[in-house]
A and B are shown apart, each in its own frame.
Chain A
């Protein structure tokens, strides 16, 4: 159980285009999902916390107009990188915290990640 999927697993796009990444919890509901960014050989940096039915909470330094987050249901959150540029190239990972008997558990389960390359 506790499987999180991400789509696409990798994407290459031209500078200036927008890219949407989906994060789904397949076998559990998640009121809270998190989006991380990871550069090669570095740790995960939290970008934003996505709450179902409300606006995302962004970390300091993350442009909310550039990284649009929508958490429309208890099983789906999307991250859209708008007008992507080469410096946005990175590994993006989502995670979800499971609900158990209506309450949030403590463990976050991660998706497999999306590798974005902007040319």
Chain B
């Protein structure tokens, strides 16, 4: 079974509007971390936001917020006020196990976001 599922291969959004990128995960661990990364056409992976499994509040970083619904095992990324520079591939990822363990990230298949002028 896929550990990280991103069901939207591509998304379009009008500039200045908000957009939600979906991510569901599968784990039996109680302790885990969820991440979102942005990959523009240059290839660099840019860290956007992190949510720990024990965090009670949804993470926010500027225009990015993570809609964490633990019971549904979803961790959707919300980008508010989209900008043209937000056009990129977005990856959801999960680290299973405790913080500090040398566990690797598991990535979803990604969502290509295109912001329209």
Contacts and interface: CB of A to CB of B under 8 A. Distances in A.
A44 B45 CA distance: 10
A46 B104 CA distance: 8
Given A43-B91, A112-B42, A51 B47 contact: no
Interface string A41-62: 0111010010100000000000
Interface class of chain A by DSSP? strand
B44 A49 contact: no
A78 interface: no
Contacts of B42: 112
Contact of B44 (A46, A104, A112): A112
B98 to A, nearest CB: 9
Contacts of A42: 109-110
A67 interface: no
Contact of A49 (B100, B104, B109): B104
Contacts of B101: 104
A106 B37 contact: no
Interface of B: 33, 35, 37, 42-47, 50, 52, 91, 95, 99-102, 104-110
